Amino acid sequence: MKYVIVYWSRFGNNRKIAVHLETLLKPKGEVITLVAADSVKLPQADVYVFSAAAERFSIQEDMKKLMSGLRGMDGKKYVLINTHALGFKNWLGRMNKLLAKSGLTKLAETDFRVGEGTKEGNGLPQGWEKKLEEFANRI
Ligand SMILES: Cc1cc2nc3c(=O)[nH]c(=O)nc-3n(C[C@H](O)[C@H](O)[C@H](O)COP(=O)(O)O)c2cc1C
């Protein structure tokens, strides 16, 4: 299995998720981890993981642009991870819509509420590693 993890992270929380997920997926196959940016061209893979923060009542802008521009990826799968503030809704619904024209098929999705320590990259909730491990088993 070949995985591409694409993430966007302002404070480091999504980076932590991406780095840990890469370790968890490595025994299952090849994993490439990339930061979402305008210029990024996604390599071929079986499964694409998109992990990004909610910002300004949507998905962070760079990730939004990247996801909404994807086309012709029929036969491949996608996985979503969203981090968002305590007391706010997740943006998984928006992420699904952004991929509507990509041709990708959904495999799984999850979210993490970030709290105290977010700006230092330490805002993920207690037990996030275990939650991510269980999630990784499904993808
Ligand atoms: C400019 C800005 C806008 C944000 N807007 C939202 C928002 O609309 N909804 C929400 O749930 N969280 C919002 N947040 C919180 C981010 O989702 C949180 O900082 C992020 O998930 C942390 O992940 P990161 O360290 O990977 O960037 C915002 C944060 C920033 C810096």
**Quick one: pLDDT band at residue 86, thresholds 50, 70, 90?**
confident
60 Cα–ligand 1 center, Å: 8
Determine contact, residues 109/2, Cβ cutoff 8 Å.
no
Q: Which of 47, 13, 43, 41 is nearest to 28 (CA)?
A: 47
Question: What is the tens place of the pLDDT at every residue in 108-137?
Answer: 999 999 999 999 999 999 999 999 999 999
Q: Is 53 in the pocket of ligand 1 (CB under 6 A)?
A: yes
In a mutational test of the pocket of ligand 1, which residue from 62, 64, 81, 84 has the highest number of ligand atoms less than 8 Å from its CB?
84
Give the position, in ligand 1's atom list, of the atom nearest the Cα of 58.
Answer: 8
**Quick one: pLDDT band at residue 87, thresholds 50, 70, 90?**
confident
**Quick one: pLDDT band at residue 39, thresholds 50, 70, 90?**
confident
The DSSP bridge partners found for residue 111 are 82
CA gap 114, 69 in Å, rounded: 28
Averaged pLDDT for residues 69-75: 96
> Taking all residues of the chain, what is their mean pLDDT, rounded to a whole number?
97
**Quick one: pLDDT band at residue 13, thresholds 50, 70, 90?**
very high
Q: Is 107 in the pocket of ligand 1 (CB under 6 A)?
A: no
Residue 41: how many other CB atoms lie within 10 Å = 5
51 pLDDT above the threshold of 90: yes
- According to CATH, what is the number of the domain 2-136? 3.40.50.360
Give the position, in ligand 1's atom list, of the atom nearest the Cα of 89.
Answer: 11
> What residue ranges do the domains of the chain occupy?
2-136
What pLDDT is stored for residue 129 in this prediction?
A: 98
Supply the residue whose CA is at minimum distance from atom 4 of ligand 1.
Answer: 55
Determine contact, residues 80/102, Cβ cutoff 8 Å.
no
